[in-house]
Amino acid sequence: MPYRLAAAAISATLCTVVLATGATAHDRSALPAALDAFVRRAMTEVEAVPGVAVAVVDGEGVVHTAGYGQADVERPSPVTPDTPFYIASSTKSLTALAIAAMASRGELDLDAPLAQWVPDSAIPADIAGRVTLTDLLSHRSGVDNAAIAYRVAFTGDWTPDMLWALTRETRALDDVPHGTFKYGNAGYNLATVLIAHRFGRDWSSLVRDEVLTPLGMAHTTEAIDEARASGRGGAPGHLGLEPGNTRPSYLQKTDATMHSAGGLISTANDMARWLEAQIGDGVVDGRRVFPEGLIASTHVSRVDQETTFGPYVRTGYGLGWQVGRYGDDELLHHFGNFAGSRAHVSFMTGRHLGVAVLINEDAVAGELADVVADYVYDWFAGVPDLEAVYDARVAELVATRDARRRGLARGVSARAQRPRTLTLPDAAYAGTYESAALGTLHIRAVPGGLEAAIGVQHALAENFTHPESLRVELTPLRGEVIVFGLDAGGRPDSLTYQGEVFRRQ
């Protein structure tokens, strides 16, 4: 037999043996039916999650994209592979790639101190002289800028000129030396404020031009207000706080709170293209989209860590990617969550396999995104008794959901019993309070008590335990404290919130 024919015959035999002995380990055509059945079963059991979108890719391309359930319980519409979900911090990997693309063309140097290319910023000189873009994008800068991070992600109270001025609020972290990993949003926010000033490219146009357009990710955007107005707003975040009563979160993203560390909505189909690019080092649909080695460079860890997140071990962080393991396999991943939305985006470099799971609930059952992704990885690995294993994992999530609901209900009940610590009538506290760093906080007397509002956020306040204090959840399930300061005449003249003093106007 000629050599080429013999080799082909041997290869075919080996493939048959692998498929026969590994059951479904490489039989990609069988995944969709198995995954569809599992996701529907899991959603029924978990109950709290209205909608799920999934993308699975491997070295051959897209294995499966699908949508399940409802995008919005108040305006029912079925989830499809083109339904946009908010991906929150999973945005970081796209932002980092956009900046890395600029660096690959020599337009900026990732490892140059900030002072060399933005000498006119208000960042303290000692910080600007040592911190680099690589430091900011890999969370090893040892600095924070709470003012910028808070305004762009939570209140939406900002302008480009304001953010540039707020670079003065950059501070070294006392407990995190330069070069030490500490995850947060401020590094990405600060990096893109500096790039916008130096190059005239805001973060959203940067990501669109460098990543979304080249990849053909046509349904991925930061323009959530426009998408919502056109009926393409997709799946808002939901809170499943009570059995059978999952509702849209009272806090939803707007254009003003979409930002470089968490500011995109995307779809299963677009996430499939994104994952193909990761697995293929920039090749999608057989076409090279990015220069060879560019995407791979973002996967290289720039800092060490040793933590766990659920079933995942994290050992490092690259440019926009957590570096770690799931079981014995290297797993590059980035998750995201905010106010009822949850995203899982990951891929295995060794197995050339990637999964994205987007869901629209993250109060009591956000881990469903991880459970679905793990099911895919373990299905391809041929884990024995897979359905029984994952029925048990779903049962664990249901128990967690129930425990969270009970705990949240107990918290509401306990807080309702707290005595009032404010010593004056509600109207005495109402007014406008200003912080140069964080903005304008309004306290309003409304039926039922006092309401706090800052930017797009507002919430009815509850009693707290300190003298002259209130508790607020401007962000769902994130309790924060407001403490009023009284002047010499015993009247409120300031308040402290987020560690900042706001002066009454």
Q: What digits encode the pLDDT tens for the residues 130-186?
A: 999 999 999 999 999 999 999 999 999 999 999 999 999 999 999 999 999 999 999
Distance CA 67, CA 269 (A): 10
416 lies in a domain?
Answer: no
Residue 377's pLDDT is what?
A: 98
Residue type, 96: A
411 lies in a domain?
Answer: no
Same domain, 272 and 374: yes
Among candidate residues 294, 237, 216, the one with its CA nearest the CA of residue 476: 237
pLDDT classification of 76: cutoffs 50, 70, 90: confident
Tell which of 203, 230, 249 closes a domain: 203
Residue 231's pLDDT is what?
A: 78
324 lies in a domain?
Answer: yes
Same domain, 316 and 241: yes
101 lies in a domain?
Answer: no
Residue 229's pLDDT is what?
A: 87
Average pLDDT over residues 34-38: 98
Among candidate residues 178, 46, 29, the one with its CA nearest the CA of residue 114: 178
Among candidate residues 149, 146, 148, 138, the one with its CA nearest the CA of residue 183: 138
Residue 233's pLDDT is what?
A: 76
Decide if pLDDT at 21 tops 80.
Answer: no
Same domain, 185 and 213: no
Tell which of 371, 406, 441 closes a domain: 406
Same domain, 166 and 194: yes
Residue 15's pLDDT is what?
A: 35
Decide if pLDDT at 296 tops 50.
Answer: yes
Decide if pLDDT at 23 tops 60.
Answer: no
pLDDT tens digits along 255-291: 999 999 999 999 999 999 999 999 999 999 999 999 9
419 lies in a domain?
Answer: no
Decide if pLDDT at 372 tops 90.
Answer: yes
| Minimum mean pLDDT range among 79-88, 231-240, 410-419 | 231-240
Same domain, 265 and 221: yes
The H or E element containing residue 203 is helix 203-207
Decide if pLDDT at 496 tops 70.
Answer: yes
Residue 232's pLDDT is what?
A: 79
Same domain, 221 and 114: no
Residues 6 or more apart in contact with residue 167 via CB below 8 angstroms:
121, 122, 123, 145, 148, 190, 193, 194
pLDDT tens digits along 43-70: 999 999 999 999 999 999 999 999 999 9
Same domain, 184 and 223: no
Average pLDDT over residues 26-39: 94
Among candidate residues 371, 415, 417, 378, the one with its CA nearest the CA of residue 394: 371
Whole-number percent of the chain with pLDDT over 70: 95
Cβ atoms 324, 237 nearer than 8 A: no
pLDDT classification of 398: cutoffs 50, 70, 90: very high
Residues 6 or more apart in contact with residue 269 via CB below 8 angstroms:
55, 65, 81, 82, 219
Give the domain range for residue 29: 3-70+82-96+206-406
Phi, psi of 477 (to 5 degrees): 65, 15
Same domain, 232 and 256: yes
Domain at 241, CATH number: 3.40.710.10
CA dihedral 469, 473, 479, 485 (to 10 degrees): -20
418 lies in a domain?
Answer: no
Domain at 145, CATH number: 1.20.58.710
420 lies in a domain?
Answer: no
Residue 22's pLDDT is what?
A: 35
Distance CA 163, CA 193 (A): 7
Decide if pLDDT at 24 tops 60.
Answer: no
Same domain, 60 and 198: no
Tell which of 175, 203, 231 closes a domain: 203
Same domain, 86 and 112: no
Q: Within 10 A of 116 (CB to CB), how many other CB atoms are there?
A: 12
Domains contained in the chain, number: 3
Residue 25's pLDDT is what?
A: 56
189 lies in a domain?
Answer: yes
pLDDT classification of 5: cutoffs 50, 70, 90: very low
Distance CA 392, CA 377 (A): 17
Domain at 466, CATH number: 2.40.128.50
Average pLDDT, the chain: 94
Same domain, 217 and 350: yes
Same domain, 136 and 211: no
Among candidate residues 430, 467, 463, 452, the one with its CA nearest the CA of residue 497: 452
